[in-house]
């Protein structure tokens, strides 16, 4: 009896594998079911059956003794097709794991979310939602604003309703990045100003704002330590280069992030930088109006370079500058006010007026005014570029002015060269 049962079990396994394994062709031969006549292409009505005459699951034909019903184990259903399968069966068949679904939802835009783009609003509310999917849903009308189709660039207003279609439930939220206690303490001490809408900090030298290839320690990964009891994680609204120090503005809520981004786009935020440069520019003050473009990386990586005015790849870049002091015509202290926001704009513009920023290895010109001969005298080789002052309309009304003290290496250089920089003033909020 034992031998007979063993043979019967093995034959059953072979029959099931032969039944559900399909050849790897573009148009596999359809399975012939019980009651189907020769040459018949349409299947007879009624539930499918197994070769043993036992009715299987509705729609997919899984026999009740298959592995998910606790019967024969180890059967492989390698090439089974699922086209036309009853959706009710998908949740029962373990070979077809299903992602939990979220039902259609309607959200009302709050005051804090005013003027945010529709696609950015969707990504903030649904982490992991792809831009391509948002665009598709806007095109076919599955995402609606006040019941009507909307573009991804639509700016939202308080009181509007946004309909989000049914979708897969989001994955488990990413765990909060663990920050070294010393880094957390230093970052909190770097905060110069904070209120319910914004945080302003004095970014230290050498700290990247965002991650990238080979960059693990960066500011964006540490922002959770700057919540200060808020339910929202602070958001970056602009950037500083890794080696540039000084004022960095953060938004404490999604709505504030949208408002600040609009201010930067409209050039309504005034930024003032201090730099120590090699050489004394002539004239001592003026405006640099020089288009810039990005060029492929070489030994120094991707760089920004001057462009011709008719170059289609060039973008207009404007910087106002003023010489505040100089030392023996070899080094000068400049105040720089960018009117546009191109990548590495200040660094390339300073090279263009034959006054490269001290310590700028990426754009240094060793034969230009003996630019870096001063380093032999013992000055720091770190980049001497500092975001000194921000003047901006406050998102809650009024205005805000903030200043940041120089970093240690620039303080030492100022002392050596005899430059006298006033201490930063306390933040001023005007309502």
Q: Which residues belong to the active site?
A: 241
**With contact defined as beta carbons under 8 Å apart, do 152 and 117 qualify?**
yes
Residue 397: cis peptide before it, omega within 30 degrees of 0: no
First and final C-alpha spacing in the chain = 94
What single DSSP character describes residue 230? -
Give the span between the Cα atoms of 56 and 115, in whole angstroms.
Answer: 55
Q: Is 133 helix (H, G, I), strand (E, B) or coil?
A: helix
What single DSSP character describes residue 215? B
What single DSSP character describes residue 79? T
Give the span between the Cα atoms of 198 and 201, in whole angstroms.
Answer: 10
Give the span between the Cα atoms of 288 and 21, in whole angstroms.
Answer: 72
Token pair 């663990």: residue: 178
Q: Token pair for residue 6?
A: 């063993």
Rounded-to-5 percentages of helix, strand, coil across the chain:
25, 25, 55
Q: Are strands 385-393 and 399-403 parallel, antiparallel or unpaired?
A: antiparallel
Give the span between the Cα atoms of 227 and 184, in whole angstroms.
Answer: 11
Sheet (strand 144-145) strand order = 105-108, 161-164, 144-145, 148-149
Q: Token pair for residue 153?
A: 């660039």
């Amino acid at each position: 009896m034992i031998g007979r049962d063993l043979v019967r079990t093995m034959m059953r396994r072979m029959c099931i594998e032969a039944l559900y394994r399909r050849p790897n062709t573009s148009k596999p031969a359809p399975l012939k079911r019980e009651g189907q006549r020769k040459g018949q292409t349409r299947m007879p009505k009624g539930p499918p059956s197994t070769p043993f005459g036992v009715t299987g699951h509705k729609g997919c034909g899984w026999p009740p003794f298959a592995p998910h019903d606790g019967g024969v184990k180890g059967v492989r259903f390698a090439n089974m097709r699922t086209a036309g399968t009853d959706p009710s069966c998908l949740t029962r068949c373990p070979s077809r794991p299903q992602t939990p679904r979220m039902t259609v939802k309607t959200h009302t835009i709050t005051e804090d979310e005013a003027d945010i783009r529709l696609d950015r609003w969707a990504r903030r509310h649904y982490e992991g939602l792809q831009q391509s999917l948002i665009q598709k849903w806007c095109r076919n009308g599955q995402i609606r604003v006040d019941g009507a189709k909307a573009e991804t660039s639509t700016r939202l207003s308080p009181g509007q309703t946004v309909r989000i279609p049914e979708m897969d439930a989001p994955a488990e939220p990413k765990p909060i990045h663990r920050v070294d206690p010393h880094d957390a303490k230093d970052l909190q001490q770097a905060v110069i100003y904070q209120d319910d809408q914004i945080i302003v900090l004095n970014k230290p030298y050498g700290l990247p704002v965002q991650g990238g290839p080979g960059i693990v320690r960066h500011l964006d990964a540490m922002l959770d330590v700057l919540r200060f009891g808020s339910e929202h994680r602070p958001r970056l609204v602009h950037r500083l280069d890794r080696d540039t120090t000084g004022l960095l503005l953060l938004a404490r809520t999604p709505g504030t992030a949208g408002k600040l981004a609009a201010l930067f786009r409209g050039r309504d935020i005034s930024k003032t930088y201090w730099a120590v440069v090699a050489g004394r520019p002539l004239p001592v003050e003026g405006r640099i109006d020089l288009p810039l473009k990005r060029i492929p990386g070489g030994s120094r990586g991707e760089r920004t370079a001057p462009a011709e005015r008719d170059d289609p790849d060039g973008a207009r870049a404007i910087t106002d500058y003023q010489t505040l002091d100089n030392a023996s015509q070899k080094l000068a202290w400049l105040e720089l006010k960018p009117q546009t926001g191109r990548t590495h704009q200040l660094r390339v513009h300073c090279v263009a007026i034959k006054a490269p920023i001290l310590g700028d290895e990426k754009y240094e010109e060793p034969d230009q005014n003996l630019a870096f001969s001063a380093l032999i005298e013992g000055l720091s080789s770190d980049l001497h570029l500092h975001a000194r002052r921000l003047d901006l309309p406050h998102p809650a009304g009024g205005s805000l002015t903030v200043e940041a003290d120089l970093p240690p290496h620039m303080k030492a250089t100022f002392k050596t060269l005899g430059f006298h920089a006033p201490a930063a003033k306390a933040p001023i909020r005007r309502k």
